[in-house]
Chain A
Amino acid sequence: MILRVDPSQALPVYEQIRQQVTRMAVTGTLAPGTRLPTIRQLAADLGLAKGTVAKAYELLELSAVVESKGHKGTFVRDLGPAPGASAGEVADGLREAAEAFVVAARQLGADLDQTHAALDDAWRLL
């Protein structure tokens, strides 16, 4: 499961983390009981301050998406039957993301082949 944050966005980084983890937990991509990485590990991996990740975890716990079990770690809660994302929701989300990607590619002057290649590379990487 990949988490991606962009500090240059207007949305605070801890909120980006909270939203993405919530989305994955709600859709069942993150199964109930999954143990999240430690604050130190995720902060190091994303190059963030520990406090930023700690705040995201705190918000996730407050919204009952995850639960902390002390030294054992932080686990994804059972949010009931995972509805998964419906086909329509997936299609809408992908369309929105693709439009943003294509706009950026055209602004950079990339052609369709280059854009496809970039998409393939990102798919393999992430």
Chain B
Amino acid sequence: MAMGWAIGSVLAVVAGASLLAGVWSADRSERAGRTGRWGRVLVLRGYPLLIVVIGLGVLFVVPASVVEGEGGWSGSNIVSVLVAIVVTLLGAFALFVLGRNLAGHDPDAGRIAARLSGDEPSRLLLTRWLQRVRWRRWLGGFLGVLSALLLSVDGSGPNIVLSGFAGIMLGSLSAELHHWRRPDGGGARAADLTRRRLSDYTSPGEQWLLGAAAMGAVILAATDLAGTTAHTTDRGPGWPWAGTALGVVAGVVAMQWRIVTRRRPALPPELRRADDLARRLAVSRGMAQPGLALALALLAEASTRVGLGLVAAVCWLLAVGVWLGTRRLGLDKLLSAPPANAAPEPAGA
């Protein structure tokens, strides 16, 4: 038992130190304006690494519990000690990655922006947007999952996936809210008279899916309120979940319009194209896709509560599918795409 406490203490110290090191490292890289190979490896390999850590942790816990069951820690179980060391090192490595992410460090942002835009000011604009959005989404998702885990201690907490989607959506939302600040007063200002429309920045398919999700929410809420479906469990009615899904879709569309019409002074053509691209990404991958994933997950929850198991399963599958497509804003694949001038032109440009 004492050995268990010792290992726990060492793990806690290593975890704390790794987190601090990660934050410090990310901050240093940002200040230096460079991202090394290790930085990229650390973040890109972070999630698979966590799975490895969890797997090894299971391997470690099982034999350890067997040993404890047979009379406690003997200290002579070399395999367990070795596994503990490996797990500690890998855990520290994973937490180091976590620390870098918590610091908002996105080593891919520069490379992705370089492939999306030609000149330096445009790259800077896109890099800033990518770093801001991606780390807030990550943090939102992380906090969502963590909240669900903490609330689930007694086994009655919220759905972890749903909570994670909600966190991602809130993260995306918070990344766009700073534009609501009023511009500095005074002085001459210029603007382009070209009208910007939502259809310039989003695809009809995405908007159609959002509409379909809203329609599904209305139908589910109506049928539940009309009492035409059988409540399978005592988990409560489904209509509040369907209503929330409808609210999410409405909020997403309102925010999309906000992004399209938010302030844009007169800009040189290159910067205007980069701004169009950032808006297009924000409207589509920042708002529509995470909003759709969340709305579908809410509809799945509502369907479960009104006893439509098949509909719930389909909604869950669709929600996870949409989330997979937008997991890292869906931009990682662009790392292997032709650079800069081959980037698609936004329709509104």
Contact = CB atoms under 8 A, between A and B. Distances in A.
Contacts of B70: none
Interface of A is mostly: mixed
Interface residues of A, number: 26
Nearest to B261: A41
Given A45-B264, A125-B267, A126-B266, A37 B194 contact: yes
Contacts of A124: 268
A38 B263 CA distance: 12
Contacts of A8: 186-188
Nearest to A34: B193
B195 A45 contact: no
B188 A45 contact: no
Interface string A1-21: 111111110000000000001
Contacts, number: 74
A125 B194 contact: no
B268 A42 contact: no
B303 to A, nearest CB: 35
A126 B189 CA distance: 11
A6 B188 CA distance: 4
Contacts of A30: 193
Contacts of B183: 47
Given A45-B265, A126-B266, A1 B188 contact: no
Tell me the interface secondary structure of chain B in the complex.
loop
B269 to A, nearest CB: 9
Nearest to B190: A4
A51 interface: no
Interface string A75-113: 000000000000000000000000000000000000000
A35 interface: yes
B264 to A, nearest CB: 5
B193 A4 contact: no
A42 B192 CA distance: 8
A125 B188 contact: no
Given A8-B187, A125-B267, A1 B261 contact: no
A12 to B, nearest CB: 14
Given A1-B192, A36-B193, A45-B263, 5 more contacts: A2-B193, A3-B192, A5-B189, A24-B193, A125-B266
Interface of B: 182-196, 260-268
29 contacts: A1-B192, A2-B266, A3-B192, A4-B266, A5-B189, A7-B185, A7-B187, A7-B188, A8-B186, A21-B193, A24-B193, A30-B193, A36-B195, A37-B193, A37-B194, A37-B195, A37-B196, A38-B195, A41-B195, A41-B196, A42-B191, A44-B261, A44-B264, A45-B263, A45-B264, A47-B184, A47-B185, A47-B189, A125-B267
